[in-house]
Structure 1
Amino acid sequence: MATKTSKRAGETSTTVSVGVRIDPKVKFALDIMGRLQKRSLTAVIEWAISNAISQQTIDKSTYSMGELLDKVWSTDESTRLVMLAFYLPQALTYDELRLWETIQASGYFWHKYPDGTYDENNLEMLDLSAVRTGWFSLTDHVEKYKGNSCIIPIYERQIVPL
């Protein structure tokens, strides 16, 4: 996903460019909708997608897609992954699942009970600041062991803080 850079150095846009191919009849309909709504083509497409998101249902979930997006979305990639894993695990890609399973297997990322154990199914037990701090070490670790058929936990001594 490409982000636009504004004219000011170092400042990024809050929007992303997405290239899509659509049927000419659909494009014509979007143009007509834009005229009727006095909106740009981009605004009509965003409006249509937002409506589709709000109407999307998710099997076995008590949340709507819009509510889930509010829970999952973050500008921070590590937070987004964790929230997606907790609230919508069926949407994880293979690579995201490898990251999540490594987090689950790595005690460094969890608050522990007095006996040293932790509950990897409890969001409140997750130390999200540890995940953020160790994110680059974690992604490098998972990449290094991606060919391994087993999940290899990462240990505190392997984490290089930001």
Structure 2
Amino acid sequence: MIELVSRIRRQSITGVVEAAIEEIAGDLDAPFHHNGETNNWSLSSAVTEVWSTDESERFINFCYHLPGLLTYEEQRIWETIKASPVFLDNDDTVMETWWEVEHIGHLDRGSISQFWEKLLEHVEEHKESRTIIPFEPPF
């Protein structure tokens, strides 16, 4: 059926799938957290706010704005970030986040971006731990 739709619309199959997903996303509500409140936003509007070409930035935006949609693995990364002093705003912070994480403070986006790959390796290495092991930069 998708092939016939693509022929009728003179689109690629990928184009038909993308259009269908965009239509669904416009009709689907997502629990979006912003300015201390959670409200339903269309998924397409939420994605617009969360999207970034930088993977670490996109992840932090996702964690802040759509925390109820995190997988267990994503929660472990997020909890590790919040438990790691290297990622918290301090006197040396270059790129402070514009929003505040409750009971934590502001995060240093620059440090998160700088150590992103090492952070992911750290979380994977400690995935069997019953508790969150804070990340320490490899200096």
Q: TM-score range by the shorter chain?
A: 0.7 to 0.9
**Compared with structure 1, are the counterparts of its residues 32 and 136 closer, same or farther at alpha carbon in structure 2 (3 Å cutoff)?**
closer
Quote the offset at 1:138 in angstroms: 1.4
Match of 2:80 among 80, 88, 102: 102
Match of 2:121 among 140, 143, 151: 140
Deviations 1:9-65 (A, max 9, x none): xxxxxxxxxxxxxxxxxxx2x334333322222211111111111111124534221
SS of the counterpart of 2:29? coil
Is residue 128 from structure 1 mapped to residue 106 from structure 2 by the alignment? no
Say if 2:82 and 2:104, in contact at 8 Å, map to a contact too: no
Is residue 36 from structure 1 mapped to residue 17 from structure 2 by the alignment? no
SS of the counterpart of 2:64? helix
Identity of aligned residues (%): 33
**Compared with structure 1, are the counterparts of its residues 137 and 39 closer, same or farther at alpha carbon in structure 2 (3 Å cutoff)?**
closer
Q: Which residue of 2 aligns with 1:15?
A: none
Say if 1:103 and 1:153, in contact at 8 Å, map to a contact too: yes
TM-score by length of 1: 0.66
Rounded to whole Å, the distance in 2 between the matches of 1:128 and 1:96 is: 17
TM-score by length of 2: 0.76
Paired residue total: 125
SS of the counterpart of 1:111? coil
Q: Which residue of 2 aligns with 1:70?
A: 48
RMSD, matched Cα: 2.5
Rounded to whole Å, the distance in 1 between the matches of 2:5 and 2:39 is: 33
Greater RCO structure (CA 8 Å; 6+ sep) = 2
SS of the counterpart of 1:61? strand
**Compared with structure 1, are the counterparts of its residues 122 and 75 closer, same or farther at alpha carbon in structure 2 (3 Å cutoff)?**
farther
Quote the offset at 1:129 in angstroms: 0.8
Q: Which residue of 2 aligns with 1:6?
A: none
Q: Which runs of 5+ in 1 are unaligned?
A: 1-27, 114-118
Larger radius of gyration: 1
Say if 2:3 and 2:13, in contact at 8 Å, map to a contact too: yes
